A and B are shown apart, each in its own frame.
Chain A
């Protein structure tokens, strides 16, 4: 089955620790995205990547880092510099990221709780 996987589903960390969230897709999509969702707010874009070895900051990139060494994988690191890391993190992918309509498809998400 083609799809996007994220692991783990739930993650608990102590304040001050970096944590890396996994995102893998086997849809052969070029573009991948990371969002966070907080209660009462729409999804906000953290980082996106249009192609392997390339990525751009989204609207709320501070305190996060990413890499895109393989087409299938786009891990997100939440660093200790992120002021409010507790959130629901969603990874998405699309065939491409520009031009005509390219819908984005989401993974199941990771709920990160930092105490």
Chain B
């Protein structure tokens, strides 16, 4: 089983739609969680950290379910500019010190007119 699993998509949605992505992780010792956005042939950019109580940033809402070991990202009122690949990222503490980020392979979103 992969450490972090995401549906690769693509998710093709009309502009203005609400779309949700889920991501599951296998290591129950995972401490922190993030969503990154990656445009084609560009570097990943931090979209938001995911807090235990859930958090919202404008049209984006992230939630964490530790019992079921998954995180989610909800995008409301999708814009054409939201088209990108969304990477689920999980952090655990390394035994030798430092943290380890494990990246999912990403979910591709295409927002269409």
Contacts and interface: CB of A to CB of B under 8 A. Distances in A.
Interface of A: 31, 35, 40-45, 48, 50, 56, 88, 90, 97-98, 101-109, 111
Interface of B: 4, 31-32, 34, 41-46, 49, 87, 91, 93-94, 96-106
B44 A48 contact: no
Contacts of A44: 103
Contact of B44 (A40, A90, A97, A101): A90
Contacts of A90: 43-44
B32 A101 contact: yes
Nearest to B51: A101
The 6 closest A-B pairs by CB, nearest first: A42-B103, A97-B98, A106-B43, A43-B103, A101-B32, A42-B105
Given A90-B43, A107-B43, A109-B43, A45 B100 contact: yes
A106 B102 contact: no
B106 A42 contact: yes
B87 to A, nearest CB: 7
Contacts of B49: 101, 103
A42 B97 CA distance: 22
